[in-house]
Structure 1
Amino acid sequence: MDSKNKYTKTHSDNVKANANLVTTFPEMGYFRFGTAGHLAFMWCALVCNSMVSACILIGGSAVVNAVTGVNFYASIWLISFVCAIYVFFGGLRATFIADAIHTFILLIFIMIFAYTVYAGDDSKIGSPSRMVELLTERAKTIPVEGNYHGSYLTFRSLHGTIYSIQDVIMGFGLVNCDQAYWSRAIASKSKTISSSYFCAACCWFIIPVTMGLTLGLGARALSLNDDFPSLSDSEVNAGLSAVATARYVLGKAGSTLIVLMVFLSVVNAARISVFLWFIYSAALTCILHRIGISLGWLFNFLGVATASGVFPIALTFLWKDLNTFGAVGGSIGGMFLALVVWLVTCKTLEGEISVDNLASTYVAFAGNATAIILGGVIAIVSGLIWPANFDFDKTRNRTVLSEHLEDHENTSEHLTTEIDAKDQTGKTDVQEIDQDIISNSDTLDELPQKQVLDFDVLDSQYKRYIIATFALLLTFMFIIPISIGAPPYIFST
């Protein structure tokens, strides 16, 4: 999913230039396409945040349940409540502080796990060469289906290739439909917006890679040991292999670190900013868990639910010719068609539609690919046939709040005039009117003010980082995967 962050960092310059005061991407949809665009993008945002919240709560609750034994449903509500309290008292600033401090602590924990697995007790793993030996031995008894010679030490993997493409699609969908990325792009300073996104994208990559190479591969290698806990398919899909490895190599300390990591990462990524959402997301997660939806299942479904919004939402900020039909039809129509293809493919390939079958490799890939392709085709083709020729000056320095600001200014002027027009008998409730004016003035100070955009700086950054971005995209998405995945090769010590 590193590609999604690289894409975001250059995209952010154009967002800043064309919609510098817009607070949400549905608001931009409203300015360009009216109520239809607003509702379509709100639906995309709701689906994305619902699925992401469910992923966070299902994954976090599974870990808490496995480590502490707390009831799964109780864990869901407990995590939701803690996040709601955290954000309620800390406000928006708390989320930014959490992003920085919590990520720093998470990196320390990951370093501890990496050192313990690859340089710790020899009876566990202790070294990279020992890891290779254990994985080679494991492949003899439990080979990986679709991998070259069933090996764990090869990048020539059919299912791995399909999932990597699916993961990129899912990443694009989550970025475009997640308001957090838009908020940061719009709120950032013009001179630092691209560099900050660029650095964040490069730094992020190390987290999933290191976790996979230590706790993920570690679980498979250590499964040769008789005292290592056996994991069922459902436990693996719930993400509990990392818990088992951490507990095995570090004992109670490992369990403690995992629980702390869950708390820090959940608070980092939580969408629970109001109590209503806390109740909704917790209830939704309980329902999903009850019908057998796991963390792995949700990962396969995320692209189906969100990828149709990639092109319509992005082009709303970037392309003047995108029209209402392309924006609404691409985002909502693409999602509907993706769901149809997803279900039809499941019935055709698997014989019946079930929870497990819907998450199978080819079925999930069909839904993901359909969502992003048809969403883009509808948006782009309709724009080419019926170009909107939109003027982005209409969205610069504009927000619903700024229009609210003008209304307040007019109200204040009206109230002042009303005071002067009243008779001089002293019967007018001047104090009440003055209070209204003061209240309005306080509101005006809190609303966003117009900005002077430095288009030269934004354009310079865009040109500079677009080259770096595509170089990294080319490297991580094509050069490295093809060079190590295409050859029939098994890595050794």
Structure 2
Amino acid sequence: MSETGIFPIFDSGAGYGIIVGLGGIFAILMSLTTFALKRYFSEVQDSEMYLTAKRSIKAGLIASSVVSSWTLSATLLTSTTFGYSYGIASTFWYGAGCSVPILTFAVLAIELKRKAPNAHTFLELVKHRYGAPGHIVLAVYSLIYQIFIAVNLLVGGADVFNLVTGMNKIAVCFLFPLGVCIYTLFGGIKATFLTEWVHTVIIYIIMLASMFVMYTTSDHVGSPGRMWELLKDASEIRPVDGNAGGELLTMRSFYGGLVGLIFLGGGFSATVDSQLFQKAIAADPKSTVAGYLLGSLCWFSIPFCIATTFGLGGAALEHTPSWPTYPTPLSPAEINSALVMPYTAYTIMGKGGVVAVLLMVFQAITSAMSSGLETVAVTSLVTYDFYRSYINPEATGERLVFISHIAVVTFGLLTACVAVGLTYAGFSVTFIVTAIGILIDGAVIPSACTLFWKKQSKYAIVLVPIISSLASISTWIGVAYHKHGTVTIATLSDFIPTVAGNMLALTAPIILTPLITYLKPENYDFEKFKELKQVDDSGFDVKAQTEGVAVKTAQERTEAELVNLQSIEKELYVARNYALGAALFIAISLTILWPIPMYGTSYIFSKQFFTGWIVVTFIWAFFGAIVVTLLPIVESRREIYLFFRAVITRRSASQ
């Protein structure tokens, strides 16, 4: 049990109640939903539905799922910690740094839909184009990313639940994957989309409630003006090194800028993760661009608003009598343990605020794990990219679903074991999330070139990621040693070595990819991607018909889908260009037009300007909440009506 400050303030039963109780409720509800969809909408869990949702997900659920995938426990905890430590600049740069890769992925996603309409995973394309060597290299990179992000989720959850409730860390690491595995086993990717929506809506509700308490009703703050006054006092008591005038309220922040660079690198590493491509594959072709663009804008509101509320709130209130440990400030150990968020929540909302933090962390962990880090993306990778590619190329849909079920359970146990090891070895959630780009970013450019550059060679796809990763890891360790004279977890966590490693990993392939490619360039025909075929799921059709479920045959479904894809190919080409233009505009706005003028002038926020900033924060929070909550309902209103009508009348929705 932790003895940090005022924590733990609950007994371990509260932690078990949240993880086991809520996890069980979600597992039961999603399993029942999957059963009802099969009963009333004739949705059979064959391999195509289980792993691609028949490529039918609309923009609202795609946006919700993107927000869910990107909202890790680290998103909530580390953004708050950086906001507390470095001020308002880091709250902005955290969100901007990670939003740019999502925008980039909007372009990759639509190009994938256009060039390979029948793909089950992105790595299928890699194998089809480069053969086994390139396929294995990128598959290993994707799997490493998925393992470490899933582990990061569990490490963050274990730290918070242990510190706040005294719950055993090993129990946390093993119980979190349990509920996720259950509803994924029964429902596949569509169940995860629906669950992600519920989780993300709850996060937005708690976030908005916290913002209103902090900035309108709290006795300790209660208004943007009062927050500004408290932050000015805090800047005098604890000036921020590297900030203009030592102020918390300035965009001129050396370390705030480094936060943006670190998470730019960390964010781009996610484009190697097959789970984001899995969402693109599951999307209705016409919904892909809108889903990812809306998802990037909505996700920005999560770290931006959370850190502006809890991070700045912690910095403002720490030097007032309302702070639980006043006059003692937070220790480095407490800050590194991500306790800024629960401390601030306790100050403004009491124990109820800490419960809200635990619920948000629970939602973030289970949502991100179900989104593919723990389940469908890994099962897709194991099922299609290893089993079907190298063990049983003629596997039927039933066999693939069986293998995917084994993969779900195995991966859940593996990540839990690794998380326990890293937790007790002293690795923090911040260390893992900031270092992942150093290991993975070397594969980003080669992956993008697979879809966009026909000349990239087999040698480049194999050598560039490996060389870049070795160079970035060496740079990371070398800079840490040069600056501190020793290599430890603490010195490797320093911003300068971390930025050096991330940026080298991201930029080295820009030089290495063409250099190696032009030694022996290729001239690949992208039309070959359309040779990829869907799986034979006829066994599921027979089984469903014997159970009384009316379904189209696999051949009928495939013919209908091919006709539809051929008819919208030109629309997808236009959508690709639109996605590119929109992504560039939003990225330039977030990284240059908005922050750089304030950075260049070393502007320190006035009370009026800060009040306007908080208004914008509320607007962005409401925008994200409305899009994520209401758009999926509006888009699926007909299906929802048919579903409830079918349940009431006990007849199929098609009747």
TM-score scaled by length of structure 1: 0.88
CA distance in 1, matches of 2:277, 2:557: 19
- What residue identity is the alignment partner of 1:479? L
- The alignment's C-alpha RMSD in Å is 2.4
Distance 1:87 1:186, change over 3 A: closer
Aligned to 1:344: 478
- What residue identity is the alignment partner of 2:254? L
Q: Is the 8 A contact 2:149 2:433 kept in 1?
A: no
Q: Is the 8 A contact 1:73 1:286 kept in 2?
A: yes
Aligned to 1:118: 215
Aligned length: 459
Q: Is the 8 A contact 2:206 2:356 kept in 1?
A: yes
- What residue identity is the alignment partner of 1:224? H
- What residue identity is the alignment partner of 1:252? K
Deviates more, 1:62-71 or 1:295-304: 62-71
- What residue identity is the alignment partner of 2:364? S
CA distance in 2, matches of 1:446, 1:49: 35
Give SS of 1:22's match: coil
Q: Is the 8 A contact 1:320 1:392 kept in 2?
A: yes
**Shift in Å, 1:10:** 2.1
Aligned to 2:296: 201
Aligned to 1:31: 128
Distance 1:205 1:55, change over 3 A: same
- What residue identity is the alignment partner of 2:530? R
Structure 1 position 214 matched with structure 2 position 309: yes
Aligned to 1:295: 429
Aligned to 1:143: 239
Q: Is the 8 A contact 2:108 2:451 kept in 1?
A: no
**Shift in Å, 1:234:** 3.0
CA distance in 2, matches of 1:6, 1:457: 19
CA distance in 2, matches of 1:297, 1:272: 20
Match of 2:189 among 88, 92, 95: 92
Aligned to 1:188: 283
CA distance in 1, matches of 2:238, 2:467: 43
**Shift in Å, 1:171:** 0.8
Bigger Cα Rg: 1
Structure 1 position 383 matched with structure 2 position 517: yes
Aligned to 1:259: 358
Structure 1 position 51 matched with structure 2 position 185: no
Q: Deviations 1:288-309 (Å, cap 9, x if unpaired)?
A: 1222111111122021022111
Q: Is the 8 A contact 2:123 2:139 kept in 1?
A: yes
Give SS of 2:131's match: helix
Match of 2:331 among 232, 235, 240: 232
**Shift in Å, 1:447:** 9.7
CA distance in 2, matches of 1:62, 1:231: 17
Aligned to 1:359: 493
- What residue identity is the alignment partner of 2:433? F
Distance 1:448 1:319, change over 3 A: farther
**Identity %, equivalent residues:** 27
- What residue identity is the alignment partner of 1:241? V
Distance 1:447 1:349, change over 3 A: farther
Aligned to 1:416: none
- What residue identity is the alignment partner of 2:588? L
Distance 1:398 1:253, change over 3 A: same
Structure 1 position 324 matched with structure 2 position 458: yes
- What residue identity is the alignment partner of 1:473? A
Give SS of 1:7's match: helix
Give SS of 2:530's match: coil
Match of 2:262 among 149, 161, 166: 166
Match of 1:459 among 573, 581, 599: 573
Give SS of 1:192's match: helix
CA distance in 1, matches of 2:183, 2:317: 37
Aligned to 1:278: 412
Structure 1 position 76 matched with structure 2 position 187: no
Q: Is the 8 A contact 2:446 2:460 kept in 1?
A: yes
Distance 1:379 1:151, change over 3 A: same
Match of 1:129 among 216, 221, 225: 225
CA distance in 2, matches of 1:443, 1:338: 51
**Shift in Å, 1:489:** 2.1
CA distance in 2, matches of 1:290, 1:448: 50
Aligned to 2:117: 20
CA distance in 2, matches of 1:472, 1:41: 29
Q: Deviations 1:240-273 (Å, cap 9, x if unpaired)?
A: 2111111221122212212221221111100222
Q: Is the 8 A contact 1:335 1:375 kept in 2?
A: no
CA distance in 1, matches of 2:484, 2:316: 31
Structure 1 position 250 matched with structure 2 position 250: no
- What residue identity is the alignment partner of 1:66? L
Give SS of 1:388's match: coil
Structure 1 position 482 matched with structure 2 position 596: yes
CA distance in 2, matches of 1:225, 1:384: 63
Deviates more, 1:17-26 or 1:281-290: 17-26
**Shift in Å, 1:312:** 0.8
CA distance in 2, matches of 1:44, 1:443: 37
Q: Deviations 1:341-388 (Å, cap 9, x if unpaired)?
A: 111111112111111000101100111011111133222332344321
Q: Is the 8 A contact 2:239 2:246 kept in 1?
A: yes
Give SS of 1:396's match: helix
**Shift in Å, 1:108:** 0.9
In structure 2, runs of 5+ residues without a counterpart are: 1-97, 376-407, 547-551, 608-655
**Shift in Å, 1:239:** 2.4
CA distance in 2, matches of 1:126, 1:305: 44
- What residue identity is the alignment partner of 2:573? D
CA distance in 1, matches of 2:187, 2:111: 31
Q: Is the 8 A contact 1:237 1:297 kept in 2?
A: no
Aligned to 2:161: 64
TM-score scaled by length of structure 2: 0.67
CA distance in 1, matches of 2:556, 2:195: 24
Q: Deviations 1:165-218 (Å, cap 9, x if unpaired)?
A: 2211211111x1221210121232222211221122212111111100001111
**Shift in Å, 1:446:** 11
Aligned to 1:369: 503
Structure 1 position 473 matched with structure 2 position 587: yes
Q: Is the 8 A contact 1:338 1:371 kept in 2?
A: yes
Q: Is the 8 A contact 2:181 2:409 kept in 1?
A: yes
Give SS of 1:213's match: helix
CA distance in 1, matches of 2:291, 2:440: 25
**Shift in Å, 1:397:** 4.4
Q: Deviations 1:19-56 (Å, cap 9, x if unpaired)?
A: 22222222222111111111101111111112211221
In structure 1, runs of 5+ residues without a counterpart are: 410-433
